[in-house]
Amino acid sequence: MVKVGVVGYGVIGQRLADGVALQEDMELVGVADVGPTLAVRALKEKGMPYDFYLAVEENREKTEEVGIPISGNLEDLIKKVDIVLDATNAGIGAKNKVLYEKYGKKAIFQGGEKTSVADVFFHGYANYEKGIGKQFLKLTSCNTTGLIRSVDCLDRAVGVDSVMIHIVRRVADPGDYHRGLTNALKVDPVPNHQAVDLMLIMPHVKATGVLVHTPVTHGHFITVFAKPKKKITKEEAIAIFKEHPRIRLVRIADGFLGNASIFRYARDLGNPRGDMYEISIWEETITPFEDHLIYSLHIPQESVVIPETIDGIRAAMEMQTDRLEAVGLTNKYLKIGGYR
């Protein structure tokens, strides 16, 4: 049983803790954060299902004042685990790495950290083998994670020569205030980092793309112009995507009009926090055009990286050396693809 700790109990950390707790071959030892944040207060109100470790000693008094039981400090948690999932704010993970190295522990960092923080830039489906046995892995960003799922899926089926990407990016997560209140779009330079990151994971695929920030909170929208190595029909593309457990095919005709429809559907399913682990591809957007295949997809930015992070535990800890066996177990315990 692999012992796992989550450092940073925020948007991603909460979901990582829940995801690890569902894995029957892993044990969630506990979670760590800086003090009595809203997420930690909610953890207490839920009955403290996870042990809490205080990362900032200066906040001990205020944490105890609100009745949150403290199981130890950050180093206490690190000592007890085999691997740490670092879900702290960008830049903090690199500082925490010193502690992970001090105690000889493995760690997985999220997309906000610089790629140089880790031994391997990791994606569960696209390059699982490269993460096997490594001490430090870094996940791709939420956009890149979902994007690579779809491109890797096509690539393994028919081969992909290149992709052009247009991203409509949500400006902040629900509940965030730090981005301010805006009524504007913001354009990033070409190529966007997701295209560059895709080429780091899949160096045989040429990629470029545009990114537009938009003032919404529920999900990113990506249109991909992929150039397969051989022409495929719409029906063939649909069949390929349907085979991937972490891709959900949706239709405008069924009422999936956009990001809000998918978020509402996830809530109607009873998914915690309205999360969806799968990316969604609209069937009506899957269109062969000359030598390209066009399709559009939805990225549930708060939850999409959870399966690939758990894949990373399996790789780093050498729990499974076969890629499909590893991702299959992650999918099974997270109940991904069960609707098929």
Q: Tell me 258's DSSP state.
A: S
Is the backbone peptide bond immediately before 272 cis, with ω within 30 degrees of 0? Answer: no
Residue 63's nearest CA partner among 91, 87, 39 is 39
Which helix (H) or strand (E) segment is 230 a member of?
none
Q: What torsion do the CA atoms of 186, 192, 195, 201 make, to the nearest 10 degrees?
A: -110
Q: What torsion do the CA atoms of 216, 309, 283, 241 make, to the nearest 10 degrees?
A: 170
Q: What torsion do the CA atoms of 56, 62, 63, 68 make, to the nearest 10 degrees?
A: 170
Question: Would you say how long the chain is, in residues?
Answer: 340
Report in angstroms the alpha-carbon separations of 41 from 56, 67, 177, 283. 16, 9, 19, 41
- 254 by DSSP, 3-state: which? helix
Paired sense of beta strands 279-282 and 247-250, if any: parallel
33 is in an annotated binding site: yes
Residue 237, φ and ψ in degrees, nearest 5: -65, -45
Return d(Cα 63, Cα 55) in angstroms, integer.
Answer: 11
Place of tokens 């799922």: 149
Do 202 and 152 form a contact (C-beta atoms < 8 A)?
A: yes
Residue 142 appears among annotated catalytic residues? yes
Place of tokens 């890797």: 152
Which residue in 12, 142, 153, 167 is the catalytic one? Answer: 142
Return d(Cα 305, Cα 253) in angstroms, integer.
Answer: 28
Binding-site entries for NAD(+): 33
Catalytic residues, by residue number, are 142
Binding-site residue set: 33
